[in-house]
Structure 1
Amino acid sequence: MRYLKDIQEPGMGTWYFEIDNDGVAYRQMVYHDDAICITSNRKHEQYHFMLAEHPLDAQESYYEEISQAEFEELWHEQLQLSMEDWNRTQSLFPVGTRVEGYLEAFFPQGTLVNLQEPHAVGITDTSVLRSQTPAEWMYPRCRLIAEVSGYDEVNQWVILTRAEVMGSQV
């Protein structure tokens, strides 16, 4: 992975990206001038799940390569701010629990699922979902049932298996 920083125009904040060798973003943070930070692992009321949709060209002059340690320090600060919500989410969704939610977004890591509790986000394998789900059901807001199999501590997501899209929308 590579780590980039981009200082936008005045008022647009500072953007941080974790990208793979093809430029695909896996994690992203935007620190605004007013000290508000938007991270890709949490749904924002205005920006939804903010993650670059197209590969980034790290050679562009406006990107500055930063160390993994610098990125991780900033990411860790944001995780700490949501630790109370994360602990609550884990207690609400223990491993083995069957859950219901709805499709939210498609990320390189998998399909994000709204677990219908404040700040509770699940993730499941997109390729498995696509292999067993009609294409017309693979859209945000389609209902899904799944089983909790673990936790992604890096993103504070609930890992879901045995996911089935129900076809109806919430």
Structure 2
Amino acid sequence: MKYLKDCPEPGMGTWYFEIDSDGAAYRQIVIQDDGTYIASNRKHEQYHFLLAEKAIDDTEPYYTKITKKEFEEVWSNNLHTFNKEWHQTKTDLPVGTEVSGYIEAFFPHGTLVQILEYDAVGLADTHSYAEKTPSEWMYPRHEITAIVQGYDEQNQWVILEQTQVFKNQFTG
């Protein structure tokens, strides 16, 4: 992985990216000028799940290459603000729990799922359910059920397995 920083324009904060060798972003975080964070692991009321949708060309002059340590420090500072909620999520959703929710977004990691009742984000392996799911259901807001398999500590996501997608769309 490669790590980059960018300060696009005054008032837009400082942007940090973790990208793979093809330029696909896996994690992204913005420290806004007021000190608040917008991170790709958590839904933001205005920016949804903020993650670059196209490849990032790290040779562009506006990107500054940074160390993994610098990126992880910024990422960790944001994660720590949600430690209490994350601990509660893991307590409420032990491995083996059946959950329901809906598709939020598709990331390089897999499918992000909003888990209903717990205000938690789940991650499902897209390839594991895509073959048995009609393509017209492979869109945000389609309802799902799944089983908790484990936890992604790096993103504070609940790892899901045995994912099933349904024709119904979440309307709440």
Give TM class, smaller chain.
over 0.9
Counting only pairs closer than 5 Å after superposition, residues 66-81 of structure 1 correspond to structure 2 as 66-81=66-81
Residue 134 (structure 1) aligns with: 134
Residue 23 (structure 1) aligns with: 23
Residue 58 (structure 1) aligns with: 58
Counting only pairs closer than 5 Å after superposition, residues 138-149 of structure 1 correspond to structure 2 as 138-149=138-149
* 1:96 to 2:96 alignment: yes
For these two proteins, the number of residue pairs brought into alignment is 170
The structural deviation recorded for 1:119 is 4.1
The structural deviation recorded for 1:118 is 5.3
Residue 123 (structure 1) aligns with: 123
Structure 2: 5+ residue runs without aligned partners?
none
Structure 1 CA distance for aligned equivalents of residues 152 and 135 of structure 2: 27
Alignment-mate amino acid for residue 16 of structure 2:
Y
Percentage identity across paired residues of the two chains: 57
2:131 alignment partner, SS class: helix
2:86 alignment partner, SS class: helix
Structure 2 CA distance for aligned equivalents of residues 157 and 34 of structure 1: 26
After superposition, the CA RMSD in angstroms is: 0.8
Instruction: Assess if the C-alpha contact under 8 Å between 1:6 and 1:15 holds in 2.
Output: yes
4+ aligned runs moved over 2 Å, structure 1:
none
1:74 alignment partner, SS class: helix
Alignment-mate amino acid for residue 21 of structure 1:
S
The structural deviation recorded for 1:8 is 1.3
**What are the superposed Cα offsets for residues 128-165 of structure 1, whole Å, 9 maximum, x if unpaired?**
22111000101111000000010000000000000000
The structural deviation recorded for 1:117 is 3.8
**TM-score under structure 1 normalisation?**
0.98
Alignment-mate amino acid for residue 12 of structure 1:
M
